[in-house]
Every structure is written in structure tokens, then in C-alpha cells.
Amino acid sequence: MGKTIFEGRRYNTKSATLVAEGLSSGGAQGDFKHWHGDLYKTPKGQFFLEGAGGAMTMFCRTAGPNTWSGGSGIKVLGKAEALYILENQHRYYGDEIEAHFQDILEDA
């Protein structure tokens, strides 16, 4: 279980709702662009991803001048970004999308 403070707000997996677990960017673990994690929603409606990834992902960390490595932790997401991640998974997350993004969905 993770927690962090970002821009004066607490993000904690214990107090947040798990929206979807086992998300990933696809590809093989160990790839610089591979990430995996679980999507959460805070009681106030903010989305965040708890996970880990390679040197070319949102979880990267600086390892010196012009050097990056993989890392892990919590990354705060905007609502559109969280929806994009769910829509682009190899598994269908339609029920989760309907439950948490109803206010921004439109009929085709």
C-alpha cells in the first residue's frame, strides 16, 4: 500500500477506491517503456496510478546527469489521462469506465 503527498494533497491507496488493477503498457517487463500498476480514485475524485516502470515511463527517476532509471511510486493523473489508460489496455474495462467516467462519456 502506498501513499504520497503531491501539491499539498494526500494520495493513499488505503483510503482510495481501487478502480482497476493489473494495468500495463504492454510489452515485456524490463523494457525501458514498460510500466504496470493499479488505478485508484480518491474520495474527492482524483485519479492516481500506483505502480512501477522503466526508464522511459512516468515512473522514471533521475540517476545522474542525463541518466534515467526505472522507478516506482504513485503518479497523479487527470481524469482524461486515467480514461485514456483504461481505454488502451489489452483487457476490456468497460464496466469500470461506465462507473467512474459517466460524466465525460458521450454516445456515438
The string of pLDDT tens digits covering residues 22-47 is 999 887 787 898 999 999 999 999 99
DSSP, collapsed to helix, strand or coil, labels residue 85 as helix
Q: Whole-angstrom Cα distance, residue 3 to residue 74?
A: 7
Written as one letter, the residue type at 78 is: G
The string of pLDDT tens digits covering residues 52-80 is 999 999 999 988 898 889 999 999 999 99
Global confidence as pTM: 0.88
Residue 36's DSSP bridge partners are 24, 52
> Looking at 1-103, which runs of residues are DSSP E strands?
3-6, 9-12, 17-24, 35-41, 47-53, 61-64, 67-69, 71-77
Q: Where are the alpha helices (DSSP H) in 1-108?
A: 79-87, 94-100
pLDDT at 19 over 90: yes
Residue-level pLDDT at 29:
80
Asked if 86 and 18 count as a contact pair (C-beta separation under 8 A), the reply is no
pLDDT at 1 over 70: no
